[in-house]
Structure 1
Amino acid sequence: MKRNKIFGFLAGALLMAPAATFAQQALRSGYFLEGYEYRHVMNPAFGPDRKGFVSFPFLGNINVGMSGNMGVSNFLYKTPDGGLTTFLNESVTASDFLGGINQNNRLAIDYNWSIFSMGFSKFGGYNTIGINLRTNVSATLPYELFEFMKVGGKGDNTVYHMENIGVSSKAYVELALGHSRDINEQWRVGGKLKFLLGGLNASAMIDRMDVEMTDEQWKVQGSGSLDLAMKGLKVPTNEESKNPGDYEADKAQNINYSDIELESPGLGGFGMAIDLGATYQLREDLQLSASLLDLGFISWNSNTHGVMSMEPWVFDGFKDVPYNSEDDMGNEKPNSLENQIDNLTEGLEDYFSFQREGEVSSRTAALGATLNLGALYTFPYYEGLKFGFLSSTRIQGKYSWSEGRFSANVAPTSWFDASVNYGISSYGSSFGWLINFHPNKFNFFIGSDHQFVKITPQFLPVNNANMSISMGINFNL
């Protein structure tokens, strides 16, 4: 698989759907819903209101979502002929584009797919087994980066300073073994032990980047690092993959993105993590809960490390993208959006220039942990109605985020319950919901933490990039 497929997809996804994260680790709308089988994912102390369950293989719990403080409309614009063009097009004014950009543009993408799950009562408590595929992408992109991309040398500024540019991605398979039990009438505790099989880990961290216009060219100097860990991933330098006359001598050790390829994929790393949780019945009508999730690490092998050169390098700038381009006959034809994004990708490759350092080695990286704190109040005149507040905090350095979510939860019958909720987070506000059917021997649920209203044909949110959908089919024991 060549670079233009790998790198182009990542760059295009990050910039065209920022701040990106198919970001749905678990359906937080179901945290207080006692009939929801996967509450234990958010707090391992939660027990079932039934004997247990077995998931429909590959369909038991699917979570897909996106969170961010920007959307597609910030980066793609309609042309007069009904097509699409990027924000670099000269017809898009700097004020129109930059007016929708935040000082700190955030991205978080989590995807959790349950391959197999089950829960059962045994050994004095409740036990869970889960095999899950999990991915995470996080990014933070400063306003100055987009200002430079759009305005460049056409504005008054000839010097740009950028800090804290970061993109991180990982994918792994998780085997989770959980157990929870009552300590007394008030306390219930639980925990999980997770074994992690790593597939991919990529991280680019740029602490500072200075750009200055000199002699009609941009001089760039930065401090940052790049790590790419994936079994079988070949990351060549210019010296290894190009003819001597095709690159400048001082760029011999620069990573050649165009020739990155995947030769023999396999297990890229191994790690472990734990989840801890507890509930406390403060009063008959008030329950408190807390959990700490994904406290652990993955040791990645086959890691390629790159650094930014301490010496400045020259960058030609991001080019305007026209509405039309000419074919071989000299006739104008629409310039496809794919070609426009390819041009943008090439500019990003030149701008973020890393030199490979040393040979392939190993690297250990912590997971992003999540802290949940909850309070559940039972309505005194109807026990089937409960009100909850959930505070969730992702602890992941510069990619950290927090959310507060208020919910109303109702269980009118023994086989149906539902939740409606409203959340305020680092990515903005959102409306969530969940409906959960669990008659005898069968369970189906569907819900969302970020109900989307307006989307593109590719199912990307047009405005703020907040959307999610969760669903699953399971069998009750």
Structure 2
Amino acid sequence: MARTFTAVARGINTLNINPANLAPSGEKSFEFNLINFTITTGSDLIDINLYNKYFTGDENGEPVYLNEADKRKILSMFPAGLAQTGSGIDINLVALSFNLDAVGAFALNVSEKAGVNLLLPKSYLEFILYGNPLNSRYDFSKTYFNALWHREYSLSYAREIPAPEFLKYLSAGISLKLVHGFGFAEVSHNRTFLTTDADSKISGKVDYQVKFSGLNLFRDDYSSDYTPFPKPAGTGVGFDIGLQAVVAEELTVGLALVDMGKIRWRENTYEHSGYAEFNFDDPKTGQEQLDSLDNIMKGTNKSISGFNSALPTILRIGAAYRLDKAPFITKFPGELLIALDYNQGFNNIAGNTTKPRFSLGVEYKPWKWMPIRTGISVGGIQGFNLAFGTGILLSFMDIEFATENFEAAISPNSFDRFSFGFGLKIKI
């Protein structure tokens, strides 16, 4: 349903989405997951079609020479002058929920999350394609990179609360989280630019700073040894809050604020930075200046005191309408749910974005045990998506899978994003 789930998800499926949806609603009293994971990756930078056309040679393997139209086509990959790349994986290691009707519903969850966000200005590719013509300026200051690997241990609670007269039902929920951070990297600032004036004088500035904690690939003694239970490099707390309201039998709305909190990084904290201002105006000393600039761009490391990073905070607003229960429908074959969501991130921490995301999802059940799901979304990290999912819903078990990028199956030669999710849970 293109992640249109703020007012839709139930049981353990609602963890990290809207804790209010945990509240007892006649569902099974106990659920736990056996397998649950989601993988996403995508980039504005290039799709398979462009890659095959321009970067793999012609049909004989010979180089492809770009004309002006080809260059414009490649540069069109940068909407608003920026190309965004994002990848992430989310695994529920442990998830269980249980309902105590009069008391409320509880859930325990341990989830492993890792992700990368990268923003690249069009200036990089313009420089590669055109070099530095006279009276040109390339601004690289909007370059941004963030990577985060963390584990969340959460306890959630939800219950029905008194509702105003215009609502049939109202519930509230909260999740409290202990967060262990294992790796973090972020470009904290970048003010790099390059200019060439009318007299061929080249000037500019290299000025960037990257903060690390946990894994630090720039260290000379870096080791790639892996352990599934590493010592946290940072710890923090976070919480989710949410509301769910049933306006009518066929209409449900939801509101949630998710992943509020921060991580304090204390172990293996480093700063990698470089700074230089340069002017190339003497061809005899140009190579010396280039060598010096090369050293500056490689940067230097220094140990720093601890620092904080935010969790990927998101506001979710959603509504779901059961068309088969609409008062103007007297008979309907099966069940049909239509849902709308609005998601607004408050930072660009890995897995998040400040670009708003809108989605429309549809679930049709010709039989109660067989959901057919689809949806579209626009905005966010992924841009436009066409989703598809299905599964088998039994009285004691649910098996579900989905992709947000069904267009990759429809048009495999032009896709630039991929995602897949799978879940298997037991209900008692």
Shorter-chain TM-score range: 0.7 to 0.9
- In structure 2, the residue matched to 1:305 is 271
Q: How far 1:78 sits from its partner (Å)?
A: 2.1
- In structure 2, the residue matched to 1:361 is 305
Please give the alpha-carbon distance, in whole angstroms, between the structure 2 residues aligned to 1:395 and 1:462. Answer: 34
Please give the alpha-carbon distance, in whole angstroms, between the structure 2 residues aligned to 1:143 and 1:183. Answer: 51
1:167 partner amino acid: F
User: Equivalences for 1:308-327 in 2 at 5 Å?
Assistant: 308-312=274-278
- In structure 2, the residue matched to 1:194 is 177
Q: Percent of counterpart pairs with the same letter?
A: 15
Contact 1:405 1:422 in 2 (8 A): yes
Give CA deviations for 1:410-459 in whole Å, capped at 9, x if unaligned. 34444333322121224432111222322132210011222242699xxx
Contact 2:8 2:320 in 1 (8 A): no
Instruction: Sort the Cα spacing of 1:66 and 1:36 in 2 relative to 1 into closer, same or farther, 3 A.
Output: farther
- In structure 2, the residue matched to 1:11 is none
User: Equivalences for 1:327-476 in 2 at 5 Å?
Assistant: 352-356=297-301, 358-379=302-323, 380=326, 381=329, 382=332, 384-397=335-348, 399-426=353-380, 427-453=382-408, 463=414, 465-476=416-427
Matched, 1:45 2:6: no
1:186 partner amino acid: Y
Matched, 1:292 2:257: yes
User: Equivalences for 1:161-200 in 2 at 5 Å?
Assistant: 161-184=139-162, 185-200=168-183
Gaps of 5+ in 2: 163-167, 281-292
Residue 62 of structure 1 is aligned with which of 19, 37, 40? 37
Q: How far 1:267 sits from its partner (Å)?
A: 2.1
CA RMSD of aligned residues (A): 3.3
- In structure 2, the residue matched to 1:250 is none
Q: How far 1:194 sits from its partner (Å)?
A: 1.0
Gaps of 5+ in 1: 1-25, 237-258, 315-347
**Aligned residues, how many?**
384
- In structure 2, the residue matched to 1:282 is 247
Q: How far 1:378 sits from its partner (Å)?
A: 2.3
2:242 partner amino acid: G
User: Equivalences for 1:7-22 in 2 at 5 Å?
Assistant: none
Residue 113 of structure 1 is aligned with which of 91, 96, 114? 91
Contact 1:105 1:140 in 2 (8 A): yes
Give CA deviations for 1:382-431 in whole Å, capped at 9, x if unaligned. 48322211111222159422211112223444433332212122443211
Contact 1:28 1:42 in 2 (8 A): no
Instruction: Sort the Cα spacing of 1:405 and 1:90 in 2 relative to 1 into closer, same or farther, 3 A.
Output: same
Please report the TM-score for the alignment, with normalisation by the length of structure 1: 0.71
Contact 1:164 1:205 in 2 (8 A): no
Aligned to 1:147, what secondary structure does the other structure show?
Answer: helix
Q: How far 1:220 sits from its partner (Å)?
A: 4.2
1:98 partner amino acid: L
Please give the alpha-carbon distance, in whole angstroms, between the structure 1 residues aligned to 2:231 and 2:208. Answer: 28
Q: How far 1:283 sits from its partner (Å)?
A: 2.9
Please give the alpha-carbon distance, in whole angstroms, between the structure 2 residues aligned to 1:212 and 1:388. Answer: 50
Give CA deviations for 1:230-259 in whole Å, capped at 9, x if unaligned. 16x4744xxxxxxxxxxxxxxxxxxxxxx4
Please give the alpha-carbon distance, in whole angstroms, between the structure 1 residues aligned to 2:71 and 2:222. Answer: 37
Aligned to 1:80, what secondary structure does the other structure show?
Answer: coil
Please report the TM-score for the alignment, with normalisation by the length of structure 2: 0.79
Give CA deviations for 1:249-276 in whole Å, capped at 9, x if unaligned. xxxxxxxxxx462277632111111011
Contact 2:12 2:32 in 1 (8 A): no
Contact 2:2 2:387 in 1 (8 A): no
Instruction: Sort the Cα spacing of 1:451 and 1:263 in 2 relative to 1 into closer, same or farther, 3 A.
Output: closer
Residue 97 of structure 1 is aligned with which of 74, 97, 122? 74
- In structure 1, the residue matched to 2:208 is 224
